[in-house]
Amino acid sequence: MATAEQRPGNLTIVFRAGDEFATTIDFSIDMTGYEWATEVYSVVNGLTVVEPTIDVIDDGDGKINLSLTEEQTASLAPGTYGVRIRWIAPGTVVRTALDGICEVLP
């Protein structure tokens, strides 16, 4: 069986500490039955510092909303973090869909 490498797409988010943040992401594919996992993590040690919320807007069209509350963004010191979104497809196939930078402004 042949295998293929799937590289994650790039995601960059920027917000001010203490502000609510939300963005809609459109994968434009049917994601019915998919589950989601997301994290903002330290680029120094890789530890998760906060877990954003993912709400499915339209699973048939692959639209989700990524959000952080005011309390979550206030818990982050200004600086650069990593951000990652993974999907778990039906049948337990886990893939990193998006990976990138989270910039927290003072």
- CATH of residue 91: 2.60.40.10
- The answer to whether residue 3 sits within a structural domain is no
Measured between alpha carbons, how far is 40 from 47 in angstroms, rounded to an integer?
9
Percent of the chain with pLDDT over 70: 95
Structural domain count, the chain: 1
Q: For all residues of the chain together, what is the average pLDDT?
A: 94
> What is the bridge-based pairing of β-strands 9-16 and 93-105?
parallel
Task: With cut-offs at 50, 70 and 90, classify the pLDDT of residue 6.
Answer: confident
**pLDDT tens by residue, 58-68:** 999 999 999 99
Distance CA 33, CA 40 (A): 24
Burial of 73 (0-12, 13-18, 19+ CB in 10 A): buried
- Structure pTM? 0.89
Amino acid 32: pLDDT = 94
Segment 62-82 mean pLDDT: 98
Closest residue by Cα to residue 84 from 98, 70, 72:
98
CA distances, 89 to each of 3, 30, 58, 63 (Å): 17, 11, 15, 15
Residue 12 lies in a domain: no
Query: Does residue 84 lie in a domain region?
Result: yes
Domain extent, residue 81, equals 21-105
> Is the residue at 53 inside a domain?
yes
**Is residue 35 one of the residues assigned to a domain?**
yes
Residue 88: pLDDT band (50, 70, 90) is: very high
